[in-house]
Structure formats: C-alpha cells, structure tokens
Amino acid sequence: MEQLVDVLSVQNILGEGVLWNVRTARLWWTDIQARRLFRYDPVARTLDDIETPERASAFAFVAGTDGLIVAFESGLALFNPSDRSAEWLYRLEPGPVPIRFNDGRTDRQGRFWAGTMVEGDSHPALGRLHCVGPGGRVSVHLDPVHISNALCTSPDGSRLYLADSPLRTIFAYDLDGVTGELTNRRVFARTPKGAYPDGANVDCDGFVWNAHWGAGRVVRYAPDGTIDRVVDVPASQPSCVAFGGPDLNLLFVTSARDGLKEDALLGQPSAGNLFVYRTDVTGLPDAEFIFDGGG
C-alpha cells in the first residue's frame, strides 16, 4: 500500500498548501506562521524558501507564467516569487474580529477557491468561500463556515468538497462547470472525535485523501464517503496532501508544530516535517489558475 520513503526535516511551524508543479517537477508548500514559501527539487534535493509579504495559507500556479495566485492572510493576490511582488485582486474588509484566508485550491476549470476563518481559540461561523475567476473577478459563495478546509474537486470537475473543520464534517457540492454555482450540499464524511479534516486532494479514481489534524493520519475516502484506507503519519498534526513525482504516485504530506506543548513535541520529533509516501495509486495534476486578464 503506502510506504514512507523520505522525510524532509523542515520543522515547519504550520506547514500547509502543498502542491506539485508538473511543468517544473518541483514541490511547493507554505509555512503559514513563518511567512515562507518552500520550493523543493527532489532530484537535486535542493530546498529554497521565499519570504512572503504576509502569511500565505494556500496558492496555485498561474497558467502560462511563473507566478502564483496566493491566499494571503488579508486577501488574494497574484504573486511573483522572483521579486516577491504582489498584485492584489481582493482584500478583506477590516472588522471587529480577526479573519484570515485559509485553505484554497483550483477547480478543473481553472478557478481558484479559497475560504476564510476567524483566528483564535473560538471559531464563530464568520468564514466565507471565495472564488476567483477569469480576469481576477472574485465572487463569494456559501453560508458562513467556521474554518474552511479540504477544498478539492472530483476528476470531472462536477463535485466540490469542502470541510468545516470544527464540525468534523466534509461536505460535497454539485459544481456547475460554467457558472461556478454550488448546489445540493450534502454530508460526504464525518471524522471521529479528535480528528479534524484539514487539507485534501483527489486521485485519478476520484477518491479523496484527507489529512486528519490531531489524529496523525491521512484517510482515503471512496467517492461514496466510505473509508478505503488509512495512512499513519509520524506527527499528530498532518495538514495537507499532494500527489507528485514523475508518475504522480508519491504522496506528500505537510505537518505542523503549531500549538503543541513541549512534552508533545518531545514525543513526536518529526512534527512540522514533510513526509513522502510511495503509493499504489496515481494522483491528478492540480489544475493551474487561468487568468486571462479580461474584464
């Protein structure tokens, strides 16, 4: 099944948003709290890090360019890793409670989806799901959520997954490929006590791989929501997953040290590292964000 074949000892505070770039054969991810983007070449085994202007929680590669679209803490922007410049597409309105962007991913049509959350120990349902379409046009979707996570879409692009982490629930929606409208919300899967659904991805068979924050595992769900298999991770807070490598059969898993007390860290020295598993399944290339500059 899955075999742990490598561990990158990066000791991230809050590793997240991992993505494989099929054009460059590089792995990217972010450490939200450290305000760093990481870029890894698995052949040369070289690792670069790029400072970001704000905490970056999620991103996607922009088609036809070397740039990224990034969900920063205060908004959504096109980001140039070479000179660290940001072209803002959308900013959150300041309010009485601290809200920041969290999880994000492109759909199969090239739109970028990103959700927000309230920071702090309590998480009132004040988050929203945002969608960035062609030309950088931003629309807001869904009723308020506590913490949006697990954003990913089915191989044919007709279904979008979204978790509300404090509810320990992953929802599925019908996604209109033309309009981006979300309808027919239903429960896809519920996680057990102490396991909070975090970042997710979909393989070529339409199975959803979800990192269970707090439970030290990644779970593969069948398209009907039943558990197909469980991958144990040597860190209690796995945060996001991506498929990559030449054959898209490597599973990359980020993790976090954030919030762990000293005794917990002593018991899991690998917390915050990035784990690489060889699998017997094939992933899908993550779609790139399509920005046509129109309208």
Contacts 24+ apart (CB under 8 A), 118-125: 118/146, 123/147, 123/166, 124/97, 125/164
Q: Share the mean pLDDT of the chain.
A: 95
Which pTM does this prediction carry? 0.96
Write the pLDDT tens digit of every residue in 130-154: 999 999 999 999 778 999 999 999 9
Token couple for 34: 């450290």
The string of pLDDT tens digits covering residues 157-212 is: 999 999 999 999 999 999 999 999 999 999 999 999 999 999 999 999 999 999 99
Q: Tell me, what's the pLDDT at 294?
A: 45
Q: Looking at 191-279, which runs of residues are DSSP E strands?
A: 196-202, 208-213, 217-221, 227-232, 238-244, 250-255, 274-278
| 122 has pLDDT over 60 | yes
Alpha carbons within 13 angstroms on the beta-carbon side of residue 150 total: 36
Q: Which domains does the chain have, with CATH numbers?
A: 3-278 (2.120.10.30)
Res. 295: pLDDT tops 50: no
